[in-house]
Chain A
């Protein structure tokens, strides 16, 4: 227990300090402000892997590390689509995940946002369309924001989420 406390004290707060005109930091400040304006509460994200190679998932995990500290911004990942405001969808949509993705989309309450993540989610990527792949996410469900990259960095994922929240669709719903 002492060693655990000592380690916590030694490392201190790893979350990067905000007020410098650094693009990733200004994104996070703006993000929190706009989410509050639009939703008035925390943003809940449900991630759906619809056929990803698991590369994008690695960077989604990174959002929760203490340097990006996503939960500290009021954004968190939830276990059920019924609790979610936003679906974060990765991968080309495999034919075998088509039904699961559509059901997840239907289970998400209105108003809802969809962010397609990674080159595959945006365009089908290197896998394209085939007997087994339906390609880009927008072939199946309406997409609000597409974040390219293979995989996109955590900062770009944050920027994408910001863009989705400021698109205004949520307010209309």
Chain B
């Protein structure tokens, strides 16, 4: 059945543009998802929510430049059909749904994912109100997949890593230097974000959303605000949306500059780190001078923005962004001509376009592997509808391609920022947001610097949140690193890992 037949049955979904919702039966669940796959679509998120003691599994899928929120109501204790054969990224999401909501799928991989030893299997953090039973064992025994054979040995790394990065465990099975298999184990920074949402007022929880993954604070808080405003029927004033886009592009720019420096450094070119960190610092200082903070953790609020921009701030930002664009162009030539960098970047950690389609690689890393998908162009919300951003894409799928996409996106973000500063509309930047009706579901979908950030929000009684599910593109991309590493050497792991630069916190929740 073509997707438009399903769309015909669907309803308008409050929040992000281009999303519709549809409730299906257990029989239709798999058929619909097979149709999404056949149409070249991708799975965006999978989560469970509960109303009147009954669970509903929900999936967000993107296909043909529109999104479907598919809901499957379940009977008491009923399992649902897993999607891991259609969308390999679904496995970890299904395991997480079981860990947090106690709803099981038919997925043969029934190992816990986000649950380590902090709470027992019988406790469901998103369902049970009482405190969990005390657990005494500080560590659990996770069943890694063993690779056996002559000369095979394992290297265990983490959760505490050698550098200033987030914690996670990597199990390398190697022969000599060559990697046979990498298995990731995440969940170390699971801090109960989804449960915490249900304890906060719906009009104030954007502050928590901004801290799901600090490097994507603008993307998350915008996605949260977008969902809430859709549910409450609020229209953000035009200056508010343009300021939000300014914040989002500044966030993208800051992260890309940091990554370009770190990637040079991981390939032994410390000059790159120094140069790019200097540019990033200049940008952060200009951001603080014009918008009030180095990192815009609390800039996006429901109804608009908390920050505003005056002419002096605008000139300061404009000047800084011109300098960043000019100097990045100079540094790109140096990177491109550097033999050592070319040697390390080219062919390292390759994800071919075919593999990217199969595994559902998304966002910046996806665009480096031929997946030319960018919400800002393909499903734009205001003001991107008027900005016409250029999509940056490569097909090689190696570290070099992910570096090149970052270089292209730095220039494009600089162009967008300059255009926003020129065209920024006058008028109010903030409108009051009313409490949304109880039971309404809203969605937010924003192209963060790493990829699409999705968020589903359900309104509860008395201004509370019944359920909030934030979803980071890292869920899709973490499993792909396991494939990207095959046949590479262990010393290249930091470089390959950095070229994806995925979020641990955004994934572990």
Which residues of A are at the interface with B, using a C-beta cutoff of 8 A? 3-4, 7-8, 11, 14, 47-62, 64-68, 77, 79-81, 91-92, 94-100, 104, 125-128, 130-133, 150-151, 153
* Known pairs A58-B215, A98-B138, A151-B295; A131 contacts B278 (CB<8 A): no
Most buried by B among A48, A49, A96, A131: A96
- A55 touches which of B123, B164, B297 (Cβ 8 Å): B297
- Report the nearest A residue to B265, measured CB to CB: A64
How many chain B residues touch A (CB < 8 A): the figure is: 58
Q: Kindly provide the distance from the CB of B490 to the nearest chain A CB, expressed in whole angstroms.
A: 16
Do A95 and B118 touch across chains, with their CB atoms under 8 A apart? yes
Q: Which of B116, B163, B213 contacts A79 (CB 8 A)?
A: B163
- List, sorted by A's number, 29 A–B pairs whose CB atoms are closer than 8 Å: A3-B333, A3-B334, A4-B334, A7-B271, A14-B278, A48-B160, A50-B167, A52-B189, A53-B213, A53-B214, A54-B215, A55-B214, A55-B297, A59-B295, A64-B273, A65-B274, A66-B278, A79-B163, A94-B191, A95-B119, A96-B190, A97-B189, A99-B139, A126-B207, A130-B191, A130-B196, A132-B191, A150-B297, A151-B297
CB distance from B8 to the nearest CB of A (A): 41
What string of 1s and 0s marks CB contacts (under 8 Å) between B195-225 and chain A? Answer: 1100000000001100111110100000000
Besides A96-B188, A150-B211, A151-B297, 13 new A-B residue pairs in contact (Cβ under 8 A), listed by A number: A11-B278, A49-B166, A54-B214, A54-B504, A55-B214, A56-B214, A57-B214, A62-B284, A66-B277, A91-B189, A94-B118, A94-B189, A100-B167
Residue of A nearest to B138 (CB): A99
Query: How far is A56 from B505 in the complex, measured between Cα atoms in Å?
Result: 12
Shortest CB distance A135–B (Å): 10
Minimum distance in angstroms from A147 CB to a CB of chain B: 15
Q: Determine whether the beta carbon of B214 is less than 8 Å from that of A131.
A: no
Most buried by B among A61, A62, A65: A65
Determine whether B503 belongs to the interface, using a CB cutoff of 8 Å to chain A.
yes
Q: Could you give, for residues 493-507 of chain B, a 1 whenever the CB lies within 8 Å of some chain A CB and a 0 otherwise?
A: 000000000011100
Residue of B nearest to A128 (CB): B196
A133 near B160 (CB under 8 angstroms)? Answer: no
* Chain B residues closer than 8 Å to A61, beta-carbon distance: 164, 258, 277
Cβ contact of B211, chosen from A7, A53, A97, A104, cutoff 8 A? A53
Given A4-B334, A65-B278, A127 and B189 touching (CB < 8 A)?
Answer: no
B221 to chain A, nearest CB (A): 12
Q: Does B292 contact A (CB under 8 A)?
A: no
The docked-state distance in angstroms from the alpha carbon of A8 to that of B330 is 12
Verify if B437 is at the interface (C-beta below 8 Å from A): no
Q: Residue of B at shortest CB range from A68?
A: B281
Measured CB to CB, the nearest residue on chain B to A8 is B271
Report A-chain residues with C-beta under 8 Å of the C-beta of B338: 4
B-to-A contact residues, CB < 8 Å: 116-119, 123, 125, 131-132, 138-139, 159-160, 162-167, 187-193, 195-196, 207-208, 211-215, 217, 258, 271, 273-275, 277-278, 280-281, 284, 294-295, 297, 330-331, 333-334, 337-338, 503-505, 508
Partner of A94, one of B165, B188, B217, B334: B188
Question: Shortest CB–CB separation between residue A131 and chain B, in angstroms?
Answer: 5
Residue from the list B166, B188, B274 in contact with A54, Cβ < 8 A? B166
Q: How far is the CA of A79 from the CA of B217 in the complex (A)?
A: 28
Residues of A within 8 A of B211 (CB): 53, 55, 125-127, 150
9 closest A-B pairs (Cβ-Cβ)? A55-B214, A95-B118, A132-B192, A65-B277, A79-B162, A53-B214, A130-B192, A99-B138, A53-B211
Complex CA gap A47/B163 in Å reads 8
Whether B132 and A66, one on each chain, are in contact in the complex, defined by CB atoms closer than 8 angstroms, is no
Q: A7-B334, A52-B214, A98-B138 are in contact. Are A67 and B281 (CB under 8 A)?
A: yes
Please determine whether B284 and A100 come into contact, CB atoms closer than 8 angstroms: no
A91 contacts which chain B residues (CB < 8 A)? 189, 191
In the complex, what residues of B have CB within 8 A of residue A68's CB?
281
Q: Nearest chain B CB to A16's CB is how many angstroms away?
A: 10
CB B117 to nearest CB in A, in angstroms, measures 8
- Which chain A residues border B214 with CB–CB below 8 Å? 52-58, 151
- A7-B274 contact given A55-B211, A79-B163, A94-B190, CB 8 Å threshold: no
Residue of B at shortest CB range from A48? B160
Which residue of chain B has the shortest Cβ distance to A104 in the bound complex? B160
Which residue of chain A lies nearest to B100 when distances are taken between CB atoms in the complex?
A132
Shortest distance in angstroms between A107's beta carbon and chain B's nearest beta carbon?
A: 10
Query: A80 — nearest CB in chain B belongs to which residue?
Result: B162
Chain A residue with minimal CB distance to B125?
A131
Bound CA–CA A51/B294 (angstroms): 22
| Contact A58/B297 with A52-B505, A94-B191, A133-B191 known, Cβ cut-off 8 Å | no
Candidate in B118, B280, B503 with the most chain A CB atoms within 10 angstroms? B118
Q: Is the CB of B217 within 8 A of A55?
A: yes
Q: Which residue from A47, A50, A54, A65 sits with its C-beta under 8 Å from B280?
A: A65
